[in-house]
Each structure stands twice: as C-alpha cells, then as structure tokens.
Structure 1
C-alpha cells in the first residue's frame, strides 16, 4: 500500500477509523502489517524529532523507559516511530516511549516512517491513541478533550461519539478542569479518586475544595464521607431559634441572683440555683428558710 493510501485510512478527520481501534491501526503501520512506500521509511536523527504538540500525556513511567532503554541497547529498535515533516525537523506522531528510551540508550538515529497528517489528525491521533491505551491520567484526558473542543470546534456530543464515550462522561471529565491546581495534582498522583473530586466539585469556594481534599487524603476518607462533608458545608444545620426570655422571669432571676449571690436560672417551669460545696449549700438553705418573708 502506498504512503498516500495508508494515510488515507487515517485521513479526512480520521472518519475512516472512528468506531475502530486507532491504536491497532497505528501499530499495524509501524510493525509492517500495513504496507507503506519504501520512500517513507528512513532513519531519523533523534535530536531532530520534536514531541507531538498535541500530546496530552505529560507523565511517563521512568522505570519502564529505562527498562526499554536497556533492551534497545542490546537489541536495537525494531519498530519504527511515526513522524511528519515539520518546519524544522520532524514532529512525532506515535512512538514516544521508543524515542525517549532511544535517547536514554544513547542512540543517534532511530527507524521512522514518514506520514502526511494535518494538525487536526495529529491532535485526534494523540488523544485517541492514549485514551484507547488508557495511558492518560484523568487530568491529562480532560485537557485533551478541552483542546479538541476548542481547537476543532467539537461539541461535547460530537467528541463523545469520536472517542466512544457518553456525553455525560465527557462532561464529567471536563468538570475536573474547574478544580484548583493543587487538587488536580492530587488526582494526577492518584491520591483522590474520581468519586472524591466529583464530590469536591459541589463546593463553590476553591479554598474549601483544597481544605476538604487535604483532609480526605490525611484521614483516608471514603467518597461517602467526603460527600457528607460537602453537604454539611453547603447546608449547615440551622440552630434552633431561642425564644427571648420573659421580662418578668428575667427580673425574678436577677433578684434571686442578688439575694443568693450565686448563679440562678428561671424558666417557665423550673428554678435552678447553683452552689459550690456543702458549706455553700447550707448557706443557701438558711436563706431559703426566710425567703418568703423577705421577698
């Protein structure tokens, strides 16, 4: 299959492969299962290959990169990377782990296949490949969706169809970008689950989000516990209204406190007189003996 024919399978906004597995399509090209023109195959200087500017994945497992680098030192690179011509050098389409590992292994050149993709295809490929591999953390995935919506003008529903998800799923992912940066970092570090952050989004104040998130991490709170905390913050329990004290009872209360020199509470049905020890009690009892005469 000629280069243009192989690219056509991915062309026109990738419409030819939506609903299929883009990861397998790219791997077929790289592994030689899909024929490409010999002129498209070449060795490229690793220093001339620039990352895909639309790559949503920002974090890589350094341990796995080093393992791959060790393998490359022994056996070389069998599977070529996919690149497209750039203003200076080339932009990477697929094979970032191989490229990073090759640099780690000290290689100067790496096998590559030259493809002819436009910016829209580059963006869609970068996102779809990672989503289908489940390589992205939740924040990276959300950022990728936001870029597709802003750059390519997709609606949430159109994007959902393209990535094989529900519109509700896309909407929930995009809501993650409303989280404060500190909380987003907790998500990336897998300290908070999607359930936790969905509950946190119920708070309007970013400072409160950060405080509740920190407490959830420190106390290992369940999603239900965080939901309860958020609910209590948003709907504080109303304190029961205290009825104003009857003026007459208040006057009686003051007279008794003056007479007994101790704290006295008077309500509609009770009189409470505080005392401190037996001597104080005896003092009050003596006073109570003459209370009727003096009041």
Structure 2
C-alpha cells in the first residue's frame, strides 16, 4: 500500500516537473526554465533506454538551423553518470540538432535520479509532447512494467492517461515485426494496427491496408471478415453470414477502446451475446471491478 502511494506521489511529481519543462517558448525565455549550467556537448550522451527511437532528419535539420540562429532556448535535462559525464533524461532531439549545428557547449538542467525515474521522466516528457510513435510508447510502458513492477493503473496515473489507453498501447506489442515496422514508420495508425491484432495474417492484411490507403473503418471491416473466416473456415455449415452493420462494429470498437480488451458483440433479433477476451488474471480482476461498480 505504501509502495502504491509512493508511486502515485512520484507520478504527480514527474507530471509537475515535465509541466514546468514544457512551457511555451516565451515563458521559457523569461527564465521559467533556466539552465543549471553549460557543459561541453561531448560530455553528454544519449540514454540508451530512451523510449524514443525515431527522429525525422528533416525536422532535425530545421531545428539545427534555428539553433544556429537563436541557440538552444530550452535546456536539455540530464543526470550525472560519472565525473563530468551526463546522460540525457529529456531533450535528445535538441542535443542531436545542436550537434548538427556545430555547438561546442549546451545548457543543461541537472537532475539526480535513478534509472527508474529517468525512464519515467523520458516517457512522460515524450508522451506529453506527442513525440513518441505508438510503438515506442508501448515499448516504454512494457519496460516500466517488466523492470519496475508497475501496473497499468500506475502507469496511467504517472502519464496522465486512462488505464484503457495504456492497455490498448500494450496490445500493439502482440503484432508481428513487419506490422510493428509499419506502425513505427507511420504507414499504419494505432487504430489500423489494433484492428489487426486478432486476425490470422496481420502482415498480409497490413500490406493490403497500406497499399489501398484504407481507413480505420475499412481495416476493422476486413479484420472482422478474417475473424469470422477463422471461426468457420468452410463457411458451408450455415451458409454465408451477413457482415456486421456499422453500428455494431462501432460499438465493438468503443467497448474495446474503453476496456483495453478485445470485445465482440453478436446480436440477433432474438438477442445475442457479448464476449470480452482477457489474457491475464489482472485483466479479469479489472473487468470484475468495473462490473461491481454498476
């Protein structure tokens, strides 16, 4: 219980720190965020655990041009990792652009934090700035869960998102590598990717979606057809089944996004059934808690 309370307090503290770091430029210039010191750029290294992996080269070049003209307006947040050596917590993009701009020194804010807090800060900063692609975000959550024992509820409090948002992000890690690559590059959105998770051949379907420029609704429709084909490969027992109407598909999507779990609705004139698929006891317990509140 005390550990849960500590995590909640830590989450609020992280959010406050990042909120201070993420003020508009005008406030930053007015020393809302000021550098602790200036250090040689070669003394600063990237954090290998930073969830952000992709940096657009054109964007970096544009930022480098701005830095050549105006300098670094917002300091890079770092921690000590040795004598006169620093590791980036937040601001790797600015550090990379500063290198391209040929800066010898950069302004930094020094924070003495452990590995866990450094990773949390990096995730919070990137999520609040919308700098992570959906896969990077999911990998960051997975790392905190695996290495530091956080639950989905803990993460939701730290990053200021719902538990269902965290659960939906983590579901993306079930996809095969080629689909995850398309998600990282932006060829697929998170909505497209989530629709493919329960299908028999996500890679082929993903390539078809990208090639045809399908919407998320189109992706959900072909994914649903694939799932039906899995449940009745012959299609002969009951003849061709009518496709679900748009309202039913929208209801499934809404419920799935709300719970962070796969929800299937089968409705007929005489009634129907709703199926919620879970994979862990934690997910089952969360469903039970939600039902008990009703």
Give the CA deviation at 1:124: 0.8
Show the 5 A alignment for 1:81-230. Answer: 81-87=76-82, 89-203=85-199, 205=200, 208-221=201-214, 222-230=218-226
Query: Any idea what SS the aligned residue of 1:84 has?
Result: strand
Query: Any idea what SS the aligned residue of 1:17 has?
Result: helix
Task: Identify if the C-alpha distance between structure 1 residues 168 and 77 changes in structure 2 by more than 3 Å, giving closer, same or farther.
Answer: closer
Aligned equivalent of 1:239, options 233, 236, 256:
236
In the alignment, the residues of structure 2 paired with residue 239 and residue 41 of structure 1 have an alpha-carbon distance, to the nearest angstrom, of 72
Superposed CA offset, 1:74-128 (max 9, x none) = 2323432222110361101222222111100111211223221222211110000
Task: Identify if the C-alpha distance between structure 1 residues 144 and 68 changes in structure 2 by more than 3 Å, giving closer, same or farther.
Answer: same
Q: Once superposed, which parts of structure 1, at least 4 consecutive aligned residues long, lie more than 4 Å away?
A: 27-31
Gaps of 5+ in 1: 1-10, 242-295
Superposed CA offset, 1:187-216 (max 9, x none) = 12222232322221113x5xx221121122
1:42 paired with 2:37, answer: yes
Q: Is the 2:11–2:157 contact (alpha carbons within 8 Å) kept by the matching residues of 1?
A: no
Query: Any idea what SS the aligned residue of 1:54 has?
Result: coil
Superposed CA offset, 1:20-76 (max 9, x none) = 4543222469763267xxxx8322111121112331111112222111211222232
Task: Identify if the C-alpha distance between structure 1 residues 155 and 70 changes in structure 2 by more than 3 Å, giving closer, same or farther.
Answer: same
Query: Any idea what SS the aligned residue of 2:82 has?
Result: coil
Q: Is the 2:63–2:97 contact (alpha carbons within 8 Å) kept by the matching residues of 1?
A: yes
Gaps of 5+ in 2: 1-6, 239-294
Q: Is the 1:57–1:130 contact (alpha carbons within 8 Å) kept by the matching residues of 2?
A: yes
Give the match for residue 292 of structure 1.
Answer: none
Q: Give the number of equivalent residue pairs.
A: 223
In the alignment, the residues of structure 2 paired with residue 194 and residue 178 of structure 1 have an alpha-carbon distance, to the nearest angstrom, of 13
Q: Is the 2:229–2:235 contact (alpha carbons within 8 Å) kept by the matching residues of 1?
A: no
Give the CA deviation at 1:17: 2.5
Give the CA deviation at 1:13: 6.6
Query: Any idea what SS the aligned residue of 2:87 has?
Result: strand
In the alignment, the residues of structure 2 paired with residue 27 and residue 76 of structure 1 have an alpha-carbon distance, to the nearest angstrom, of 18
Under a length normalisation based on structure 2, what TM-score does the superposition of the two structures give?
A: 0.68
In the alignment, the residues of structure 2 paired with residue 105 and residue 152 of structure 1 have an alpha-carbon distance, to the nearest angstrom, of 37
Under a length normalisation based on structure 1, what TM-score does the superposition of the two structures give?
A: 0.67
